[in-house]
Chains A and B, each alone.
Chain A
Amino acid sequence: MLLFCWNIKDVKRYIVGRLPAVCIGLCIALSSLAAEPVPVASPHSNWVPLAQDGLHDPSNPRLDLLQNPAEALSLLPPDLEGNERSSVVGNRVKWVKALREGYINPRTNIYPETKIKVLDLDVMLTKRDTGELPRVLFPHKQHTEWLDCSNCHEWLFKSKTGATPISMFAILDGEYCGRCHGAVAFPLTQCQRCHSVPFAAQAPAKAQ
């Protein structure tokens, strides 16, 4: 919770301070509308049934053969805990935890000859000035448990720290990290999950 406040404050200062960030701020605004916790009677009402989701045709005679998201997703670890549990963040599932703790065990390959590569390497991204926001740490392990190297290298990211011209604007536009984050993996509104390493200079202020 403390971390949360601190980040929001940071984001605010950033917005007041710099013009480009207004765009980013507005994006958060959009989501904070959706992320407002709604009191719910049962965990199932966190997910909209297919027949009402605005996408599925309710007159499809075989719609009831399809699974409603709540039936499966309510059994997985929630993305946010406590009061915020029913906030809308992606699928409302902490997928990394669901995989790690064995709630799910999705297949890694279909062809027996496919090589499975998992890499345990954290990369600190320090090329951009993130102002007072914490720095971005990119963890290979969590990614390669789901993805193959070729999903990112070399077309999206170079295999050399600092060689890729990543920026928050490009990300918000669906490039780099924004290919997946904002589409399938946890959304871009969760700033602090990527911006997770505070500057050393900020650490004392944050400690108390």
Chain B
Amino acid sequence: MMESDLRTHSRHRFRRFMRAGIVSLALSMLAIPFSLHAEYGDVVLNKRAEKAGVRPVIFPHWFHRIRFRCKVCHSELGFEMRAGANDVLMWDIVNGKFCGMCHNNQIAWGPENCDLCHSGKQGLESGIHGGDSTMGPGRW
């Protein structure tokens, strides 16, 4: 009984302590452009897309990991586990590399479906997105 009171008490203090932190952090976060609601693990690829006049590319991890284990892309197919580390060119995709290893009209629909990959808003930054907790590697 006493112990649980204590517990509740310390939890309240903890919450108050945290609230103060939240406020100052929330303020500082306003300056950083990030999307609050993107699904966890979404990756934006926009090294060249927008400069070349097409929408940025959105790669959804949640959708692909239902169908493939990580090892398929990050070991067999050789995608580096670092957003931006793979220099993906559209020409390579059409020639069966990167996304084109699957998006070839055999394993999945082919590269002619521009709008399914090039689906991002203008001005998105390359990198991992995903609304809730962490902003991904190096982004704390």
Interface residues of A (CB under 8 A from B): 5, 8-9, 11-12, 15, 25-35, 47-48, 52-57, 60-63, 65-67, 69, 72-73, 88-91, 93, 95, 104, 106-111, 114, 145-148, 150-151, 172-175, 178-180, 182-184, 187-189
Q: Which residue of A lies closest to B107 (CB)?
A: A110
CB–CB A56/B81 < 8 A:
no
CB–CB A12/B13 < 8 A:
yes
Partner of B37, one of A15, A48, A107, A114: A48
CA gap between A179 and B85 in the complex, in Å: 13
CA gap between A175 and B17 in the complex, in Å: 28
CB–CB B11/A5 < 8 A:
yes
Interface residues on B, range: 35 or more
CB–CB A56/B13 < 8 A:
no
CB–CB B63/A72 < 8 A:
yes
Known: A57-B119, A72-B66. A182 touches B134 (CB 8 A): yes
B51 at the interface (CB under 8 A from A): no
Known: A8-B11, A12-B10, A174-B139. A65 touches B71 (CB 8 A): no
CB–CB B133/A110 < 8 A:
no
B91 at the interface (CB under 8 A from A): no
Interface residues of B (CB under 8 A from A): 7, 10-11, 13-14, 17-19, 21-22, 25-26, 29, 35-42, 44, 55, 58, 60-63, 65-72, 74-77, 81-83, 101-102, 107, 113, 115-116, 119-122, 124, 128-140
CB–CB A173/B129 < 8 A:
no
The minimal Cβ–Cβ distance linking B123 to chain A, given in whole angstroms, is: 10
Which residues of A have CB within 8 Å of B136? Answer: 174, 182-183
Which residues of B have CB within 8 Å of A107? Answer: 67-69, 72
Q: Which residue of B lies closest to A9 (CB)?
A: B10
Known: A15-B17, A109-B72, A146-B69. A34 touches B132 (CB 8 A): yes
CB–CB A29/B22 < 8 A:
yes
CB–CB A9/B133 < 8 A:
no
CB–CB B131/A88 < 8 A:
yes
Which residues of B have CB within 8 Å of A93? Answer: 62
CB–CB B119/A66 < 8 A:
yes
